[in-house]
Amino acid sequence: MFDVDRYIPKKSAKVDETTTWEEHHGGSDSPQLPECASHHSYRETVPLERFGIWVCPVCGQFSDTYTSHTGGGHLTAPSEISPERVLIIVGRARVPANPDRDVPFGDGTMDGALVATPYEAKEDIKAFKNDVEWHPATRGKLAHRRWNKAGGTWAINYADRDEFIDHMAERDWIVIDLHEIHDV
């Protein structure tokens, strides 16, 4: 998921200085947002205040650091955050129930937010609402999260996204909801 080559500036860029999230917000003037250099047209990033990072709404590239140059500023490799502690909500899909599990009512399909994660996040994700509750609207069980074997991602009940982000942030994970910032 993390590709350092995507942060490398164009050879024509004259690098002046590197700025971190804290330095960017600590100054009296309000500099413009850094751009993502992964696109030929340079796309302005979206700040995620909670995690102190900027994210490209097109490709999901993220960082807490950018380099200023004559053409503006663009993201560089993160300096204060660990890319291995980042989870990305990459989309939304209808996720079928696991065929090995008995689903007594309904087909068990979940409206899920698909989350790409490092393996190390598994136990913290499993701790998120590890119960299954009765849901009168579907006359069946409502699962809050499940492994989406077909997609190789976790599926979180779409309505529970904000609670999931809070849950993971409490456990020192950064969650980027790419599906939400794409519309910004």
pLDDT digits (tens, 9 = 90+) for 32-58: 788 887 776 678 899 999 999 999 988
Is a pLDDT exceeding 90 seen at residue 22? no
Beta strands in 29-180 (DSSP E): 35-36, 43-44, 46-48, 53-55, 62-63, 65-69, 72-75, 86-95, 110-116, 133-135, 140-142, 145-148, 153-157, 174-177
Kindly report, residue by residue over 83-107, the tens digit of the pLDDT. Answer: 999 999 998 988 887 655 544 444 5
Task: Assign 9 a pLDDT band (cuts: 50, 70, 90).
Answer: very low
What is the residue-averaged pLDDT of the chain?
Answer: 79
Is a pLDDT exceeding 90 seen at residue 74? no
Q: What percent of the chain has pLDDT above 90?
A: 31
Q: Which of 47, 48, 27 is nearest to 35 (CA)?
A: 47
Of all helices (H) and strands (E), which one includes residue 106? Answer: none
What are the sequence ranges of the domains in the chain?
4-79, 85-181
Q: Which residues have C-beta within 8 Å of that of residue 138, sequence separation ≥ 6?
A: 105, 106
Q: Cα separation of 10 and 97, whole Å?
A: 46
What pLDDT was estimated at residue 104? 44
Kindly report, residue by residue over 129-143, the tens digit of the pLDDT. Answer: 875 565 555 545 557
On whether the CB atoms of residues 47 and 176 are closer than 8 A, the answer is no
